Amino acid sequence: MKILLTNDDGIYAEGLYALYKKLSKNFDVTVCAPEVEQSAIGHAITMRRPLRVQKANGNAKLSGYAVNGTPADCVKIAVRTLLKKKPDLVISGINHGPNLGADVLYSGTVSAAAEGAILGIPSIAVSLATYQNHDFRGASEIMLKLAKLVQKTGLPNGMLLNVNVPAVPMSKIRGILATKQGRSLYQENFVKRTDPRGRMYYWLTGKVKWLKKPKDSDIKAIEEKYVSVTPLQFDLTAYDFMPKLKEILGK
Amino acid sequence: MKILLTNDDGIYAEGLYALYKKLSKNFDVTVCAPEVEQSAIGHAITMRRPLRVQKANGNAKLSGYAVNGTPADCVKIAVRTLLKKKPDLVISGINHGPNLGADVLYSGTVSAAAEGAILGIPSIAVSLATYQNHDFRGASEIMLKLAKLVQKTGLPNGMLLNVNVPAVPMSKIRGILATKQGRSLYQENFVKRTDPRGRMYYWLTGKVKWLKKPKDSDIKAIEEKYVSVTPLQFDLTAYDFMPKLKEILGK
């Protein structure tokens, strides 16, 4: 199986390398990742400037390409131009930090997998649900298992799996659950500062607030030390609201 | 009614100004928009560098703020910091170019409205479905009507309306339809060139391909000269696939 591996933390990120090491023992893995960190870049693509591609050379521990673009750019250019054959699976990660609830809208990690799904390739986004420890071994182990499962079963066209792994040793992980996207909201705060030239600037900070944590949600699974696997699709139409909207528009 | 007006073409864009002129005769409108074009930026937010805000001064034709960030940044910082009161409605546009089908995933215009929806504010994204002519009069007229409708009826929490207006004179518009997101795919191509220093670079180009154009889709409405209004929501969970996923994961 040919795997295209990408991320949004950049080609030098530990999570990417840990997963590369694990997967490349079993599969034919090519990396195409942003040359610098692209967290919270969402599904941005680069159209107003050209892209540059650096091939990982003899000194690199990875086989692949670094791109001066976004995670979605990396998947597009790899599939359309750099790879000789379309990959069988796109994996994005391992992200350092959770991608739960509304995070999936902002996440470069998820967007790279979304790009794979849009291009008709089974795709998985994977995140380690902590900003603290850097132990990607459990998450790499889980991903090897899930890659093998998806190799066997495939995925419906246009769908991806959003995987979050709790930050506990492998022996403490209680299992793998199918979950739904929880409902969260960032309570943003903009810290106002003055630069050395006396001009004002703002830093975005904020805390996540969970509106609901239903039993079968991604956040609940992580809190209870399960791996969370959420199937995501990209038809955003609010079908339930359609009759009411027709009424409002006078149809 | 207090309206926060933003876009992704930047604060100097014609479409923004046309809509500002139309709406500000009826409502209290504040602009907070990117200082430069941010098309295809998706739902990116800025966390790794600070934001700068310029207040439109006495020379500006608009009342508001220019931000060196993304459309989503503009909505966040306006709602959380710049505006004294939470707006009653967020409008993003008028975008110069359609936002139909899969465009909604890449679109900065839609993402700004999504940010409004996430913050619990009724939100509308509006696009003129052409890259050619710059006649925003019809679309401005339609938006005034829709703003008044939403003022009266409200919108369910977390939902936005994605509005596309056909590029024909107002008298040729056949009506307003409630539609669903069509299924499209970009057939990308990367044009390979060599710079004056002999180094290679890639330009993204591509054509949209429609996988399906059902009768009640956004694209079909535009082709038939109707205004398309698609209600969008941001729970991406693929509920239909849940039973199968549970089976795959061995639950």
Using one digit for the tens of pLDDT, what is the confidence trace for A173-208? 999 999 999 999 888 889 999 999 998 999 988 889
Across A153-157, average pLDDT: 95
Provide the pLDDT for residue A96. Answer: 96
List, for residues B93-142, the tens digit of each pLDDT value.
999 999 999 999 989 999 999 999 999 999 999 999 999 988 999 999 99
Which residues of chain A does B242 touch, with a Cβ-Cβ cutoff of 8 Å?
Answer: 178, 180, 231
Q: Which residue of A has its CA nearest to B199?
A: A52
The residue of chain A with its CA nearest to that of B237 is A232
The pLDDT assigned to A133 comes to: 87
Whether the pLDDT of residue A57 is over 70: the answer is no
- Rounded to two decimals, the pTM is 0.92
Q: Residue B18 domain-assigned?
A: yes
What's chain B's average pLDDT? 93
Q: Please determine, for residue B40, whether its predicted confidence score (pLDDT) is greater than 80.
A: no
Range of the domain at B144: 2-181+214-248
Q: Give A24 to chain B, closest Cα distance, Å.
A: 23
Question: Minimal Cα–Cα distance from A61 to chain B, Å?
Answer: 24
In the predicted model, is pLDDT for residue B59 greater than 70?
no
Task: Reduce the DSSP state of residue A5 to 3 states and report it.
Answer: strand
Model confidence at B149, pLDDT cuts 50, 70, 90, reads very high
- Probe site for chain A from B215, B241, B242, B248 (most A CB atoms < 10 A): B248
Asked if pLDDT for residue A138 goes beyond 70, the answer is: yes
Q: Flag whether A23 is in a domain.
A: yes
Q: Which of A177, A181, A204 sits opposite B235 (nearest CB)?
A: A181
> Looking at the partner chain, which of B43, B118, B201 has a beta carbon nearest the beta carbon of A185?
B118
Q: Average pLDDT, stretch B4-16?
A: 94
Percent of chain B with pLDDT over 70: 98
Within-domain flag for B138: yes
DSSP letter at A49? Answer: S
User: Under DSSP, is residue A24 helix (H, G, I), strand (E, B) or coil?
Assistant: helix
Give pLDDT tens digits for B158-169: 999 999 999 999
- Pick the more confident residue, B49 or B57: B49
CB atoms within 10 A of CB B170: 13
Mutate to test the interface with A, among B8, B36, B45 (most CBs of A within 10 A): B45
User: Which one of A43, A100, A179 makes the best mutation probe of the B interface by having the most chain B beta carbons within 10 Å?
Assistant: A43
B183: number of CA atoms within 13 Å, CB side? 12
- C-beta atoms of A251 and B177 within 8 A: yes
Task: Kindly identify which residue of chain A lies nearest to residue B201, measuring between CA atoms.
Answer: A52
Of B176, B234, B242, the CB nearest to A236: B234
Question: Would A186 be classed as within a structural domain?
Answer: no
Question: Is A52's CB within 8 Å of B201's CB?
Answer: yes
Query: Which of B178, B193, B249 lies at the smallest CB-CB distance from A176?
Result: B249
CB atoms inside a 10 Å sphere around CB B200: 12
Task: Say what the pLDDT of residue A46 is.
Answer: 82
CATH number of the domain enclosing B104: 3.40.1210.10
The structural domain count of chain A equals 1
Contact yes or no for B106 and A44 at CB 8 A: yes
Q: What are phi and psi of A54, to 5 degrees?
A: -110, 130
Q: B31 pLDDT band (50/70/90 cuts)?
A: very high
B60 confidence band (pLDDT: 50, 70, 90): low
Q: What is the ipTM of this complex?
A: 0.90
How far apart, in Å, do the first and last CA atoms of chain A sit? 51
Q: In the structure, what pLDDT confidence band is assigned to residue A134 with cuts at 50, 70 and 90?
A: confident
* CB-CB under 8 Å, B76 with A204: yes
Question: Looking at the domain assignment, is residue B22 inside a domain?
Answer: yes
Asked, for residue A205, whether it belongs to a domain, the answer is no
Nearest CB among A40, A232, A239 relative to B238 is that of A232
Q: Please give the DSSP secondary-structure letter assigned to residue A236.
A: -
Q: What is the 3-state secondary structure (H, E, C) of chain B?
A: CEEEEECCCCCCCHHHHHHHHHHHCCCEEEEEEECCCCCCCCCCCCCCCCECEEECCCCCCCCEEEECCCHHHHHHHHHHHHCCCCCCEEEEEEEECCCCCCHHHHCHHHHHHHHHHHCCCCEEEEEECCCCCCCCHHHHHHHHHHHHHHHHHCCCCCCEEEEEECCCCHHHCCCEEECECCEEEEEEEEEEEECCCCCEEEEEEEEEEEEECCCCEHHHHHHCCCEEEEEECCCCECHHHHHHHHHHCCC
Averaged over A26-40, what is the pLDDT?
Answer: 90
Cβ separation of A204 and B47 shorter than 8 Å?
yes
Confidence of residue B63 (pLDDT cuts 50, 70, 90): confident
Which tokens go with A102?
A: 């509304």
pLDDT at site B186: 86
Per-residue pLDDT tens over the stretch B200-244: 999 988 889 998 889 999 999 999 999 999 999 999 999 999 999
What was the pLDDT predicted at B251? 59
